Structure 1
Amino acid sequence: MTQTIKTLSQRETQLLSTLSSEGKNIFSFEDAFKLLKLSRGHAWKFIHTLVDKGWLRQIEKGKYLIVPLEGIAAGTWSEEAFVIAANLVAPYAVSYWSALNYYGYTEQIPRTIFVSTTKRKFKAETEILGIPFKFITLKSHKFFGTTTIWFGNKKVIITDKEKTIVDSLDHPEYCGGIVEAAKGLANAIEDAIDLDKLTSYATRMKNRAIFKRLGYVSEVLDLPVKHYLNRWQKMVSLGYVLLDPLSAKTGTHNSRWHIQANVSKANLTGWRTH
């Protein structure tokens, strides 16, 4: 990433230093307006001069990011991407594939930042600083199970470990497919996630497909969850669902879990040998 930075005036330096000291590396026009004590028109010109100079990036209308020079030098924006996500919509939670990677449950680093919310964005996808953001709008009963993480003094809301796994089984298409979801489940169980909480979360989601994928994948991978399989099997409804929504509607039908296994067992377990 190439960035040309031009010299700051004393007043520009003061504004950026004050915002940074208050932890407002992402700030609104109103934040700057209160500090500048200028007319709204002059304050707008002041801010956009900093954009032109390369010290600020506009991430949305009326929202700006103070450019992290160390991030530009390294070409990495991973922490900034989560912090940007925290300022794009409310309520929100970093989720799905992004959360799977954050917890170390997949080694795949998704280029897109996945953000769940109950608010419908005008655009389901947007790109900021070259980073794609995808917003998944959830019904209110599916928006729960979050925790707080910190990057320095910057707060970010993310789905907790159990909700991340449940979300991945609810919508494997938002975590790279069922193989990534299966990998995430196996690694999460090795990490000793709370299976009672996971079961409770899956019930709250009101989507029986979660239990179908959960049970089927657990048996194929021979995961140490035998005490839960009967409980999960009782939650299975009669209709068949695709194991992987991203794959074609082919494959055998598993009557125990009411799954159409459109991903082979070899593919579902192949990551273990790589």
Structure 2
Amino acid sequence: MMVQASPPAVPKGKKALLARLVAAGGDVIAIDDAVAVLGMSRKAAVQQLSRWREQGWLSRVGPGRYVPVPLESLGKAQVLDDPWVLVPELFAPAYIGGRTAAEHWDLTEQIFTDIVVLSARRVGRKELSAHGARFLLTHVPEGHLFGLRPVWRHRTRIMVSDVPRTIVDMLALPEIGGGVQHVADCLQSYLAHPDRDDGALLEYALRLGNGAVFKRLGFLLEGNPLAGQLPREAHLRMTQGLAKLDPGAPCPKVVSRWRLRVPEHWLKRGER
């Protein structure tokens, strides 16, 4: 009969300190938390956190940032129950947006395994995997951190694009929306959404300063009986020059009314 190995023991005094730190430190524990909660010097706090990490009781998620390890996860690859809590620690100032926000606000029934993050922090790569989660990163100017709502996950406050801003971001960058077809589906859901706010949507699009937003918005909504004045308002705000409906695909046809290049299979939508 095999006997399952027990997790590493923590001395009683140290275990009480760890429990107190986890209770007070929030979902992600920083060195400053250990200094304040445990009454240690910064050097001693760094050493203690490092020691608990080596013993398997904490897991490092970023420079000077740790999360407690559930007992059932010991000896396995560390996977957080809710990787959203890492976003403020790893990427702030930042917010969750794109298709991840669309899923959160019930604009789509699709389930995505990655997490779209838009960050004003310079990010060296487009993707980052951490603790069982895959983050897709997009850099935005700090002045574009508007149209956001705080969402609490456990004890962590996370910023998420609100419903109109989610739509605007996906129109500006269809790749973070899961592709143009999925963006169009989310836009259709927006028209019946309880948080629909066309005034905010138009304001956000103007502040973002991306002329392609209005072209894509008008093209996708023209002729839709639920769209109201949005196609007209989009047409009034169009910029000069041609944009592509789908930046990631060949767009050989031009819909002159919307100053938009479109793939062949989208052409009939623009022939009005």
TM-score, normalising length: structure 2: 0.84
Give structure 1 regions of 4+ aligned residues with deviation exceeding 4 angstroms. Answer: 37-42, 68-73, 75-78
Aligned pairs (5 A) from 1:50-65: 50-65=52-67
Q: CA deviation at 1:238?
A: 3.0
Letter paired with 2:214: F
Per-residue Cα deviation, 1:96-117 (whole angstroms, up to 9, x for no partner): 1211111121223332222112
Letter paired with 2:262: A
Q: CA deviation at 1:254?
A: 0.8
User: What are the ranges of 5 or more consecutive residues in structure 1 without an aligned counterpart?
Assistant: 269-274
SS in 1 for 2:229: helix
- Residue 3 of structure 2: aligned partner: none
Instruction: Say whether the 8 Å CA contact 2:79–2:132 is kept in structure 1.
Output: no
2: distance between equivalents of 1:162 and 1:70?
Answer: 40
Which segment is superposed worse, 114-123 or 207-216?
114-123
SS in 2 for 1:113: strand
Percent identity (aligned): 26
Letter paired with 1:257: W
- Residue 215 of structure 1: aligned partner: 218
Instruction: Say whether the 8 Å CA contact 2:254–2:262 is kept in structure 1.
Output: yes
- Is 1:131 equivalent to 2:159 in the alignment? no
- Is 1:191 equivalent to 2:193 in the alignment? yes
Among residues 72, 93, 96, which one is paired with 2:95 in the alignment? 93
Q: CA deviation at 1:76?
A: 7.3
Which segment is superposed worse, 156-165 or 82-91?
82-91
Aligned pairs (5 A) from 1:70-149: 77=80, 80-149=82-151
Highest CA radius of gyration, 1 or 2?
Answer: 2
2: distance between equivalents of 1:244 and 1:11?
Answer: 60
Per-residue Cα deviation, 1:166-192 (whole angstroms, up to 9, x for no partner): 000000111211112111111122114
**Measured at CA, do residues 251 and 166 of structure 1 come closer, stay the same or move farther in structure 2, by a change above 3 Å?**
same
Among residues 51, 59, 62, which one is paired with 1:49 in the alignment? 51
2: distance between equivalents of 1:206 and 1:147?
Answer: 21
**Measured at CA, do residues 263 and 177 of structure 1 come closer, stay the same or move farther in structure 2, by a change above 3 Å?**
farther
Per-residue Cα deviation, 1:33-63 (whole angstroms, up to 9, x for no partner): 3434455555334222322333211111111
Per-residue Cα deviation, 1:5-43 (whole angstroms, up to 9, x for no partner): 433332343233223332512011222134344555553
**Measured at CA, do residues 67 and 189 of structure 1 come closer, stay the same or move farther in structure 2, by a change above 3 Å?**
farther
- Residue 227 of structure 1: aligned partner: 229
- Is 1:169 equivalent to 2:142 in the alignment? no
Per-residue Cα deviation, 1:213-259 (whole angstroms, up to 9, x for no partner): 11111127x25113222111111123221111122x23421111111
1: distance between equivalents of 2:128 and 2:79?
Answer: 19
- Is 1:200 equivalent to 2:203 in the alignment? yes
Letter paired with 2:181: V
2: distance between equivalents of 1:101 and 1:170?
Answer: 18
TM-score, normalising length: structure 1: 0.84
Instruction: Say whether the 8 Å CA contact 2:27–2:154 is kept in structure 1.
Output: no
Q: How many residues align?
A: 261
User: What are the ranges of 5 or more consecutive residues in structure 2 without an aligned counterpart?
Assistant: 1-5
Per-residue Cα deviation, 1:98-137 (whole angstroms, up to 9, x for no partner): 1111112122333222211222134443221021223321
Which segment is superposed worse, 167-176 or 255-264?
255-264
Q: Aligned Cα RMSD in Å?
A: 2.8
Instruction: Say whether the 8 Å CA contact 1:186–1:223 is kept in structure 2.
Output: no
2: distance between equivalents of 1:191 and 1:82?
Answer: 24
